[in-house]
Structure 1
Amino acid sequence: MKQIRKFLILSLLAIQSFAVFPKEKAVYELHSKDELFFLGEDSRAQDSKEKWNLDELENFAVTSNPLYLREKQNIGMARGDIITASLYYNPIVNMQQQFMGASANAATGRPETSFIYNQPFDMSGVIPQREKVAKQEFLGTIASFRDFDRLFRLRLRQNFWTYLYVTEQINYQKEFLENYQDLLDLTKLRAEKGDISFLEYDRLALERVQIEREYRNARILRAQVVKNLRILIGISDVNSPLSIKGRLEFISTREFGIDLNDFDIEERPDLVALKIRQQKERMNIELKKREIIPPLTLGIEFLNKGNENVTGVYAATPLPLFDRKQGEILKSEESYKKLGFDVDAKRNEIVSEISAAIKELQARESQLLDYQKMGLLEKNKEVQEKSRLAYIRGASNLVTFLEAEKNYLSVLRSYYEIIYLYYNALEGYKASIGKMDSSEF
């Protein structure tokens, strides 16, 4: 029986040695009940729910996330300010009836009825200028929302790439765990037979504990990433499944059609918002100066007192002798200067940010291109498979085998980590130049 069991294990290991690394899948699925528990998702619901790619996640998030929709309401509020600023002065109607102490024999005590109509007139163009200021604020609100949208999409994409990276970790660590269990069975047989010492079996068991710990940590990390994605896309029901489709594969910037030198820092939404608000303050200075001249009020009055009927026209306006908006004009001028410094500082910040993003992206891409050219994964996989077969046949010791296993695992982890950092750098570059949509390149 032992010989038959050993033969079956050797055959199984020989087959699995050529399939250590999982085949490419376009869709990532959950693999165990423990993982379902960590992610809080039901397997049947998971099968019935369509998998989402990055574009679908973004489209759903911008229509469902309450925080995103709340920020979008600022545009509607600014539009209401434009309507308020463009409205003209309301007329004033006054009716008066005097009857207390009236006597028919007293001329001065007869009942008196008066009707007064007043209409203020904008003599210095305050209302058109106020409307211009409100429109400028409206444009600034739109630019601020675009900046919020830029950062929102950046955070969503960072969590998306983190999900794919952690999923890759879970996939290959799961394969290693299964292979280690088979090797444990084989090592135990060889130790019982006397070919090797039980010390090698204990050592292999300890190695498996370490890999299992990293595997479970990766599942916990993915559960945290799923939580962040739920918050970002606006899914509040934890029982609602969330499946992501995609693959952490290297695609160069050239294949994406991205020219790292083709950008304009003046198009960054946060810089655009600052420049618009600077222009608004400049218009606000003119508005405060126009407000020095108060509105002119023209009135028509009709008076009836006994047999006496009087109709008259009058005009009234405040005299700006003391209050001539001195403080508000000075405040607007200083605010305009302050925003000028803010624009210059933001421009320098953007230049430094883009420069750092380009350097990081080029470094990550160059490293991945070198790995791709030398066939790093293929060569490392070949060495690992040969080491595994040598150990199965008894031509290699456990120390050599474990070293090859750890080297292969380390290369996989480093390779996918670099791809993950590459995509993070790519999204960071897009965010730094203010173009998150691939169609803009």
Structure 2
Amino acid sequence: MNATHDSIKAFCRDNPAALAPAGEGALSGLRFAAKDVFEIAGTRTGFGQPQWLASHPPADTNADCIDRLLAAGGELVGRTISDELCYSLTGDNVHYGAPRNSWGLDRLSGGSSSGSAAAVCAGQVDFALGTDCGGSVRVPSSYCGLLGLRTTHGRVATRGLLRFASQFDCIGWFARDAHIFEQVGRVLLPAAREQGAFKRLLIATDAFDVVDTEVADAFAPALETLGAQTDEVQEIRLADDGLDRWFETFRIIQAADVWDALGDWVTQTRPTLGPGVRERIAQAARIDAAELRHAQAHRVEIIARLDRLIGEDDVVVLPTTPRPAPPRGASDAVLETTYRSQAMSLLCSAGLAGLPQMNLPLAMKDGLPLGLSIMTRRNGDMRLIELAGRVCPQAPVPPDLALA
């Protein structure tokens, strides 16, 4: 993507990259972008952090998933902005700015895959690669009104992906068109077996308890639409001991993993970090062994519980985020408490258990998208994608683009 034509500020200017298709296939004629955490041969990967960009050499090879997309006919047109070191969900990078959300230029696009979501939302590309550790595909797909998938942990090869928190890191992607989304899935999930339609919809009531009443009401039509796709609808509670406690367990394990990956570089480089990221990195440095052991033991219990709750033919539904995209200029305190912490209580279940979770742009509130998620057992990724295609063949188009 030519930086001079990047009106939404979604693409990297300091380390641009583009590659022609390497073959022909299901993605021929489609243009895509990749988050600034995927290695692209001959270029430097920036991790959303200028001192990281300056201190690391160019990549020798492409990330595995980029090679797969190119071989299937896709054209890589640019590298997109990431939140700093991927350690945020807002979509506002202190060094590179906030990619614009086409649903409202006064709104953030969400992070950390902010540029990828913004580029798809604006129609600059047909699909885009992102990554999801704590919610970095699911949150921006909710805020930007897109289809977005966090894949089963380990399901898509991560060779050539910068390490952040490897116990949770997953590759995902965004698209507005469900057919295109599925075609990308067929390329990145080539061995997916057909499993048929889901038979039971499980409504996670404790997740809906996290959101305000008017937000829950906005989801009602979408829940009816999803319920019509199954034989049975049942209410469940995901966390018998509270989603806030599950989030704390996730936070501890993620932080320890982040420090293991980045601690040496942070200590040696002493980078200038933005608000929020700076505090989370400092917290990561202080996780102790006993705290981590306790969290890991709790995680084992959580996985066992979700394995019991979610049957082979079940799909869980829950809000993706507690509210639409936050306004630009919101205070760090508001972003941390009202948006990030509440969102993480909704997002942590899939991360802790390694489950696939997909955002569906099926609701609106105050003229802004409001994402609803579907989640299922491990390796049910294509099953989620197929359900999404039945209930949401096209994501809504922002009004200004629809009039263009």
Could you tell me the TM-score, scaled by structure 2's length? 0.21
Greater relative contact order: 1 or 2 (C-alpha under 8 angstroms, separation 6 or more)?
1
Name the structure where strand makes up a greater proportion of residues: 2
Which entry has the higher C-alpha Rg, 1 or 2? Answer: 1
Name the structure where helix makes up a greater proportion of residues: 1
